[in-house]
Structure 1
Amino acid sequence: MPDAPAVLTLGPVLFHWPAAALRDFYFRIADEAPVETVHLGEVVCSKRLPFFAPHLPEVIERLQAAGKEVVLSSLALVMDKREAASMAELCGDAEPFLVEANDMAAVGLLAGRPHAVGPFVNVYNEATLAWLKSNGAVRVCLPVELPESSIRTLAAVENVALELMVWGRLPLALSARCYHARAHGRRKDDCRFACGEDPDGMDVTTLDGEPFLTVNGIQTMSHSCVSLAHRLEELRAVGVRRFRLSPQSCDMVAVAHVFRALLDRALDAEEAEARLAALFPTAPLSNGFLFGREGVLHVRPG
């Protein structure tokens, strides 16, 4: 039913922001952003974890006091025993919080318990989605490259809530190596947190000097910023109920207000995209994947 309640969620911060700035970001989200669910946790690089850990209890308390649901997101790439132990601890001791599994190891650890599945897990067909549901998944954020035709097919699987990333730079790939460190002439083990120098990731350009991709530590992202503002109604109609904003260093409270107005049908898509482009002017808007096209394209529906 297209008029069923639509939930606006804030995905985990994928970048390495200063811990105090990240704390203040979440405080403002708690106090001012019209989002129902907020994801916390380090998804990209475990070396960043200790910086924010001391602030986590007060951030959770502030978000819950504001009526937000808190979800704890797991690492998307586990590469050593220390990270495996951290993953096991998160999945074993997270109650009463829902955990979002971004790696199949976490999916296995959460088997038999209600949990969420993040966009880093490949869910490309209804058989995979049905299996994840049988394993305990109650909601699944679909991979960012899926076309609308596939989303429609997946929405036919009952009793699992579908979520879709509708704004932010797209997470495309992860690597065991850290190109961000290498670009600064450093090794991964002695990176000196090069990724912290680029709050929205480091641009990668072609030989002609055109922005192409964005690097965030071990993660490769789109240079463009996805915006599915023009297709929210159609996505609701096929059964998507949860809409994810991926944080960038711009005014995310204002971004959330734009999408809340769209979901409440208080703002049209053209005006919404004009506002979004002004809020994050360093990255062009794109939506090509949803239309089965190159992801970098900005397709005008109709």
Structure 2
Amino acid sequence: MTLLRSISLIGAPTDIGAGARGASMGPEAMRVAGIGEALRARGCEVQDRGNLAGPSNPWQPPVDGYRHLAEVVAWNQAVHEAVYTELRDGRLPILLGGDHCLGLGSISAVARHCREAGKKLRILWLDAHADFNTSELTPSGNIHGMPVACLCGFGPKELVEIGGQVPAINPKWIRQIGIRSVDEGEKRFVHEQDLEVFDMRYIDEMGMRHAMELALATLDANTHLHVSFDVDFLDPDIAPGVGTTIPGGPTYREAQLCMEMIADTGRMASLDVMELNPALDVRNKTALLAVDLIESLFGKSTLMRK
């Protein structure tokens, strides 16, 4: 029997940090795919807080290694305050992105809440990309490739300070799963900072179950588990609606196992759903799949698990 959970949906309709337009339509696609109804059917109490507001996308080239830095800061500040407010009120926030640069605002809010509540934090970063670039390393200047580095204290002052503490998180709190596209300079930086990465080769060799057992190891009753789910984590054959498709991602069954094992811990207390791009999708297929997987995060399984 799952506990009644109080969930708040927060839309962040922007593609400000991305290299392709369209993720700004992600929140509405998730609503059209029935995320609210699906969670209510799982016994959750759901409030849709609507969409946050922020600057429009000026679609400019990078300046000093960053595209749209001022606009990215504004959006992340809005996300930070919205997510932090829900956590403070004892609710489980689901951030509907928007591109993955917004993970910075979301996770910095979770880290702030954990500091104040005396909780440990574990972050699962489900993504094709490590998102550990800096302005020196990035080939594009797109800030959706930088949020993990910013959270770990590597980035422009305006972004790294959003959570009120620098760094917002310790790299040891993150487990990256499904990674299969990392820029050359970024690879070295990931190793230098000793991020724990379960890339697709690891999942191919050891299986999703083993990867998830390690990623979820040592969680206890005082751990807040945050899941940052970039939809490009999934194989593009099943999830075409993303701006940066990288072949060779988890299959439907691997993704389901990943989500069900997270649900089994009973510890997930906040969630990001990022980079859904309906402009590149086929009949909202990717949003429908994302809702299906989110249902599994909230306890849907084939049979009751004893």
TM-score (ref. length: structure 2): 0.34
Higher strand share: 1
